[in-house]
Amino acid sequence: MSDAKAEPLADPVRQLVAEAWTFRRQVELDAELRFTRLAGQLAQLGAPEALVSLAGRAAEDERRHAGMCELLARAYGRVDMPPAPLAAEEVAPAGMALRERVLYEVVAACCITETESTAVLTTLLVPEGAPRVRAVLRDILRDEVAHSRLGWAWLSHEHGAGTVSFLSRHVPSMLEGTASPRLFAPGAPEEESPALLKHGVLPHTRKRETFVRALRDVVFPGLERFGVDTAPARAWVERRSAAGA
């Protein structure tokens, strides 16, 4: 890729970039399967047609994102792609009724994960970024904003239909599922390299700061608007931050 070659990257950094885009491809493929399932479940629950088709479109978007991530991963030297996931793991605890299970998954996948993704992509869109990387980031960002809105729209719908306060005690597990296990631990020196930023990867400390800021500025206030108490989630952030420091 001309952008990647224009400025030679130290090998460990290039490898991290290739790994990050490969990992994103897997996440996008997983999201495609999840949105496909959610579109069917939302229809089953009698969701407004606009939301069902938004979920269907989201699945298509994710497949396209996966393709763009794969191209970038290869441009940075990745040769073999891991096998595509066959099914998206159910995130809600076993035994929940369909309506609660879908709300749980939509909040985890859209209100939390897609909002986090939007924050990361926005932070990554630095003017000095490689042009091809910026084009992909912009394209993905536009869609992820819509995917996040789908979550808030369904939460609002369900809030109008009854109580959604049961979510409160589950938000820490949702966060646990979204944050990488190493997010709050110190990163290796190459993971802190400022060179990563131009190639679409946040240095480790930036990644953690972006994650926590998006929770405090967007996700928590959003949940509170619908009467979801965020005290357990805020305590989770404090606990994980203290443990990682």
Rounded-to-integer distance, Cα 197 and Cα 180, Å: 19
Q: Is the dihedral of CA 143, 234, 191, 129 positive or negative?
A: positive
| The one among 144, 150, 204, 233 contacting Fe ion by CB under 5 A | 144
Q: How many helices (H) and strands (E) does the chain have?
A: 10, 0
* Residue 147 within binding range of Fe ion, rule CB under 5 A: yes
* Residue 70 within binding range of Fe ion, rule CB under 5 A: no
Tell me how far, at minimum, the Cβ of 32 lies from Fe ion, in Å: 8
Tell me how far, at minimum, the Cβ of 147 lies from Fe ion, in Å: 4
| The one among 14, 65, 170, 240 contacting Fe ion by CB under 5 A | 65
Which CA distances in Å does 29 have to 56, 64, 67?
Answer: 14, 9, 9
Give the residue with the Cβ less far from Fe ion, 147 or 204.
147
Tell me how far, at minimum, the Cβ of 82 lies from Fe ion, in Å: 17
Answer whether 212's CB lies under 8 Å from 241's CB: yes
Give the residue with the Cβ less far from Fe ion, 9 or 58.
58
Give the residue with the Cβ less far from Fe ion, 14 or 207.
207
Three-state secondary structure call for residue 212: helix
Residue ranges that bind Fe ion, judged by CB under 5 A? 28, 62, 65, 144, 147
